[in-house]
Amino acid sequence: MVKTAATVENLVVIGSGPAGYTAALYAARANLNPLLITGFQRGGIPGGQLMTTTHVENFPGFPDGILGPDLMDRMKSQAVRWGTRLVEADVERLDLSQQPFQLQADGRTIHTQSVILATGASANRLHVDGEDTFWSHGISACAICDGATPQFRNEELAVVGGGDSACEEAVYLTKYGSKVHLIVRRDSLRASRAMADRVLANPLIEVHWKRQVGRFNGSDWLESIQLLDTDGKAAEVLPVRGLFYAIGHTPNTSLVEGQLPLDDKGYLITDPGQPATAIEGVFSAGDVADQQWRQAITAAASGCQAALAAERWLTHHDLAITIEREKVEPEAAELPQPTTTATEQDFDPEALWQGGSYALRRLYHESTKPLLVIYTSPSCGPCHVFKPQLKRVLNELDGAAQMVEINLEEDADIASQAGVTGTPTLQLFKDKALEQQWRGVQQRSAIKGAIEKLI
Ligand SMILES: Cc1cc2nc3c(=O)[nH]c(=O)nc-3n(C[C@H](O)[C@H](O)[C@H](O)COP(=O)(O)OP(=O)(O)OC[C@H]3O[C@@H](n4cnc5c(N)ncnc54)[C@H](O)[C@@H]3O)c2cc1C
């Protein structure tokens, strides 16, 4: 193996869940100057699976628990503070057939001596007829992200699945729905005892055993679902306005299919407890190689192992070009700040970004600039990803456009009037006319381009 010029990375970490950020943190502290490719849409979102959950109660160091997206913001800040460089994009192609390895991301080719695969897993879909019609119009893969939307308030809702995620989501949805149906394929729950007991003891949850989803009914929005029994015969019809999937995950290994050995479910195969894969210099971390434990702490721990293993391997082959950082920068970790809600007293007509219905009313009627309105909810992980992107766009446009953030929990009526069906939803107005609407995290360039056309 040859030591090459600095245009070849020492280490590229692919994925920004607990495994990826921990691996990058350790590699950065070892002066390896790691590049972390966060992912964007393929195989999840930046921050990984914890961006789709509320309280994480079992990650050590947070005795009162912490919101999943907040935990991931912290992991990201820590990795960046120690010198991790981030690329906010998906890896489109990875070629492990030659050393240095090659990958395509963000429209360029990156060469690297070593790779840590931390691409995690993605939520499964049912692929029942009509799923596409009602996707985001009643069907969601993330109760935690979408449960608070007005269309689900005081309505009957359903969750499909029988594991921990399904039970957690069913309990969570009782905060919003009038009743929650849990649709379980078998005659028992796969969830942990404690979680199953919480579901079975909850009077707002009805479990439908040995049932599967057969058909979706409705016009613009989901109105009911037809259940089938185990023989595929029509069973009960549930009058639900929302259906939430919690039917497991598929490991994100398509990048290495045909290059590395995978098990029958698609998980990467490594020696038990070891990060090294079948190709020297390629390591794995987290859920992508873990069918069994799949926890944030196990993913983080395996990220640490992978980074240490990569460092040893690079050193052993004399391949690393380390860097010296004189001081840690920024000195204190930078965390996203909550948006302040503008009142009559402190409303600023020139502010790039402010929150609340008062600011929306004023800017909608008075601003002559393009106006972005983002609908968020506190536990919406994708909103954590999207908001910094939008702030960058506004800063780049240097005051030519403005933005208002509406929190669905505080301003449900406004969201309802605006026809918002989930978070994040972004609307672009000019002179009171709705020019464009986006649902979910979008590329920065798409938003910037749409605004520039209106300036
Ligand atoms: C609803 C829910 C609740 C949970 N609650 C808990 C909990 O309370 N406690 C706990 O310990 N665990 C919990 N978990 C499990 C925990 O989230 C996972 O075990 C953990 O996130 C796995 O981390 P990871 O880094 O391996 O992968 P992930 O978190 O899945 O992250 C994978 C990353 O890889 C990126 N990626 C994928 N493909 C590509 C590509 N081609 N290019 C670039 N990047 C890519 C994705 O964008 C993502 O950033 C929960 C999971 C879910 C779904």
Higher pLDDT, 41 or 14: 14
139 lines ligand 1 (CB under 6 A): no
> Looking at domain 353-452, what is its CATH homologous superfamily?
Glutaredoxin (3.40.30.10)
119 lines ligand 1 (CB under 6 A): yes
> Hey, whose CA ends up nearest to atom 21 of ligand 1?
49
Compute the distance from residue 44 Cα to the ligand 1 centre, in Å: 8
Atom of ligand 1 nearest to the CA of 89: 43
Q: Which two tokens stand for residue 94?
A: 């990875």
The residue to mutate among 103, 108, 119, 165, having the most atoms of ligand 1 within 8 angstroms of its beta carbon, is 119
In whole angstroms, give the CA distance from residue 212 to residue 161. 9
Domain topology for 131-245 = FAD/NAD(P)-binding domain (3.50.50)
Cβ count near 261 (within 10 Å): 11
Compute the distance from residue 358 Cα to the ligand 1 centre, in Å: 37
* β-strand pairing of 282-284 with 179-183: unpaired
In the chain, residues under CATH classification 3.40.30.10 are 353-452
227 lines ligand 1 (CB under 6 A): no
What's the pLDDT score for residue 120? 97
Cβ count near 272 (within 10 Å): 6
What's the pLDDT score for residue 93? 98
Residue 334 pLDDT > 90 = no
In whole angstroms, give the CA distance from residue 106 to residue 112. 15
> Hey, whose CA ends up nearest to atom 26 of ligand 1?
286
Residue 252 pLDDT > 60 = yes
Residue 71 pLDDT > 80 = yes
> Hey, whose CA ends up nearest to atom 50 of ligand 1?
50
Residue 4 pLDDT > 60 = no
> Hey, whose CA ends up nearest to atom 44 of ligand 1?
39
**What mean pLDDT comes out for the span 260-285?**
94
Residue 1 pLDDT > 60 = no
**What mean pLDDT comes out for the span 258-286?**
95
90 lines ligand 1 (CB under 6 A): yes
Q: How confident is the model at residue 3 (pLDDT cuts 50, 70, 90)?
A: very low
CA-wise closest residue to 212 among 232, 241, 189, 191: 232
What is the distance between the terminal CA atoms of the chain, rounded to a whole angstrom? 53
In the chain, residues under CATH classification 3.50.50.60 are 8-122+249-316, 131-245
Active site members: 380, 383
Mean pLDDT of the chain: 93
In whole angstroms, give the CA distance from residue 169 to residue 190. 14
User: What is the per-residue pLDDT across 191-248, written as a single tens digit (0 to 9) for each?
Assistant: 999 999 999 999 999 999 999 999 999 988 999 999 999 999 999 999 999 999 999 8
Percent of the chain residues topping a pLDDT of 90:
74
What's the pLDDT score for residue 6? 52
Residue 258 pLDDT > 50 = yes
**What mean pLDDT comes out for the span 417-431?**
91
> Hey, whose CA ends up nearest to atom 15 of ligand 1?
295
Compute the distance from residue 57 Cα to the ligand 1 centre, in Å: 16
In whole angstroms, give the CA distance from residue 45 to residue 244. 18
What's the pLDDT score for residue 422? 82
48 lines ligand 1 (CB under 6 A): yes
Region of poorest pLDDT, from 143-147, 242-246, 260-264, 285-289: 143-147
Compute the distance from residue 227 Cα to the ligand 1 centre, in Å: 30
Compute the distance from residue 355 Cα to the ligand 1 centre, in Å: 30
The residue to mutate among 49, 257, 302, having the most atoms of ligand 1 within 8 angstroms of its beta carbon, is 49
User: What is the per-residue pLDDT across 376-401, written as a single tens digit (0 to 9) for each?
Assistant: 987 788 898 999 999 999 999 999 99
Compute the distance from residue 37 Cα to the ligand 1 centre, in Å: 14
Residue 58 pLDDT > 90 = no
Region of poorest pLDDT, from 120-134, 230-244, 268-282, 290-304: 120-134
Domain topology for 8-122+249-316 = FAD/NAD(P)-binding domain (3.50.50)
User: What is the per-residue pLDDT across 138-163, written as a single tens digit (0 to 9) for each?
Assistant: 998 888 778 888 889 999 999 999 99
Percent of the chain residues topping a pLDDT of 70:
99
Residue 5 pLDDT > 60 = no
Atom of ligand 1 nearest to the CA of 169: 1
